[in-house]
Structure 1
Amino acid sequence: MTLNAELARLGVTGALLTGPVGTAAPTDLATWASGMVDLGYISDDGITESRDENSESFTPWQSNAPIRVETTSSVVTFGATLWESNFDTVSLYYRVGLEDMTQTGTGDDAVVSFAEKGKPKRDLRAFGIDVIDGTYHRRIFLPYAEVTERGEITYRSNTLIGYQVTITAYPGSDGTSVLRLFKEGWTLPTPPAG
């Protein structure tokens, strides 16, 4: 086995974006499609990717070990803490749209308000994630997803106000829940002849 330290990657920096459901999926690592909005600074914890999988094992009478294990569900989530307080992060965290908000004043004197009432409504969106390590780049696109968990907000003098969110990817109309693109210095192997 040949080891290659050049292929060890860090998530040095990146971005989390959101846009409307129906946003065109990326085909390369060029500029994101129109309508995708960068959610700004992310805490130094970066973005986490998690999987919650359940499986069923099948053990015959004649054995004490399973002869097959079948995955019955696989949920992919992404988590981040957003450090910018702006329309896009507040809208995402509180699940309120522009139609739910009012503004008085302008500029630094603007006051934006909204009322939380009852159960939060669904807020389905497309999401994009860029993970960058120098010239290397990984892109993740969630065509149909939503914030399914919202963490605590801490208000104190030695902590930035952050909006902790967990985003769950659902299958879109074509069945894709996560699309991944890699430009990381590796290529596909040559298929065996035959």
Structure 2
Amino acid sequence: MSTPIGDNYDDELVRMGVTGQLMYAPLGTIAPDGMAEWAEEFIDLGWISDEGITESVDESSEGFTPWQATAEVREDITSVLITWETTLWTTSYDTVALYFRKQEADMTRNADGSIEFVDGNIPKKHRVFFGIDVIDDPYRRRIEIPNGGISERGGQTYTKGSLIGYPITIKGYLTAQGWSCKRKFLEGWDLPTPATP
């Protein structure tokens, strides 16, 4: 068999998620234009485990078979759930607050400098704007999640053989515009006919 030939066999179009960053900002923060730098309202959550970020898409559909037939005449997607799973390795106010679903008003600073808050109670809804950059220098892709929240928390391990991490699953909830995330690509490919801005 001969070597395949065609535009899509260009090895410059093969990408990796070499590195990146996870940002967050208050709900309602304005996203940057294109791949511009994140605004000062966005906070970088710091070190992420070497497993990076895993994205999952869970789609459900409903098929409709008429009384007079045995095959479906129609199928519609009834739900699309997109989540991003990662483990934060930085311990800071931002990572602790996100993991435990707490806000500054829920925490108290003691006279000795320690911080305390209660856990195991019903958490308040905590929605924020998440931003993910995936970098394969000089290429990058960006995912903006304007109405995001922590839907699941993994367990923590306290041992001398591993770092204390904060395993979280980010869920994209519906926005007023009718979508849960926006994707941006700067990866060396273009539309067949360049779109007009």
Same fold (TM over 0.5): yes
> What is the aligned partner in structure 2 of residue 98 from structure 1?
104
Percent identity between matched residues is 49
**Whole-Å Cα distance in 2 between the matches of residues 31 and 141 of structure 1?**
13
Matches within 5 A, 1:2-41: 2=6, 3-41=9-47
- Looking at structure 1, the residues matched to 39 and 68 of structure 2 have their Cα atoms a distance apart, in angstroms, of 56
Query: Does the 8 A contact of 1:149 with 1:165 survive in 2?
Result: yes
1:65 CA displacement: 2.8
- Is 1:133 aligned with 2:136? yes
Match of 1:170 among 160, 173, 196: 173
Of 103, 108, 113, which aligns to 1:110?
Answer: 113
SS in 2 for 1:23: coil
The CA deviation at 1:28 is 1.6
Q: RMSD across aligned C-alpha pairs, in angstroms?
A: 1.6
CA contact (8 A) 1:55 1:73 kept: yes
Residue 171 of structure 1 and its aligned partner are, at CA, apart by: 1.5
Which whole-Å CA distance do the structure 1 matches of 2:181 and 2:66 have between them? 35
Instruction: Write out per-residue CA displacement over residues 135-165 of structure 1, whole angstroms, 9 at most, x where no aligned residue.
Output: 0010110010100100010111111111000
The gaps in structure 1 that reach 5 residues or longer are: none
Q: What is the total number of aligned residue pairs between the two structures?
A: 188
Normalising to structure 2: TM-score of the pair?
Answer: 0.90
Q: How far 1:72 sits from its partner (Å)?
A: 0.4
Give me the whole-angstrom Cα distance separating, in 2, the residues matched to 1:78 and 1:55: 21
Name the counterpart of 1:46: 52
Tell me the CA shift for residue 100 of structure 1: 1.1
2:73 matched to which residue of 1?
A: 67
Which stretches in structure 2 are left out of the alignment for 5+ residues? none
TM-score, normalising length: structure 1? 0.91
Q: AA paired with 2:107?
A: M
Counterpart-to-counterpart distance in 1, 2:120 and 2:77: 39
Picking from 74, 95, 120, the partner of 2:123 is: 120
Secondary structure in structure 2 of the residue aligned to 1:188: coil
161, 166, 169: which one pairs with 2:164? Answer: 161
SS at match of 2:85: strand
Which residue, 78, 88, 109 being the options, matches 1:82? 88
Please name the residue that 2:184 is paired with. Answer: 181
